[in-house]
Amino acid sequence: MKGQEDIESYLLKIGLPFESIAQGMWNIKAEHENLVVSIAGPVVVFRTKVMDLPPSNREPLYEALLRLNTTDMVHGAFGIEDNSIVIVNALALENLDFNEFSDVVDDFTLAVSKHYPTLSKFRAAA
């Protein structure tokens, strides 16, 4: 079964700066965000914070997030955690290969850089 050593080898191979922040948990410092990767039992969880939720007028933002989930998110989905918009994904550790790992990291990085300018406008409108 794959484990922590496999994830660390993928992190080295992907070539982005990262640090171990706990046993089985890493912080990848991608272009505009920090992507946390962690092993949670039989899955690898990917999570990045996109931005804080605006204090009001959230319905148009929620609609935009749902639309993005169906049109632009190949790996993962936009969601809400506490008072933040996040992107999350979970993949089975047992079958995870480097290409799949790399695709998730690339998709998260692309989603943040592509959609943050649009989503951040909802903060200004609140």
Reported as half-sphere exposure (CB side, CA atoms, 13 A), residue 37 has a value of 26
- Which amino acid would we find at residue 99? N
- Other C-beta atoms lying within 10 Å of the C-beta of residue 47: 18
pLDDT of residue 49: 95
pLDDT at residue number 27: 97
Largest CA distance in the chain: 49
| pLDDT for the residue 124 | 67
Identify which of 22, 44, 45, 46 has the alpha carbon closest to the alpha carbon of residue 34.
Answer: 46
* Predicted confidence pLDDT, tens digits, the chain (126 residues): 789 999 999 999 999 999 999 999 999 998 778 999 999 999 999 999 999 999 988 999 999 999 999 988 888 999 999 999 999 999 999 999 999 999 999 999 999 999 999 999 988 665
What is the pLDDT, as a whole number, of residue 74?
A: 83
Domains of the chain: 4-125 (3.30.1460.10)
E strand spans, 34-120? 34-40, 43-52, 77-81, 84-92
> Any idea which residue has 């169906």 for tokens?
70
pTM above 0.75, yes or no: yes
pLDDT at 126: 56
DSSP conformation letters of 18-29: EEEEETTEEEEE
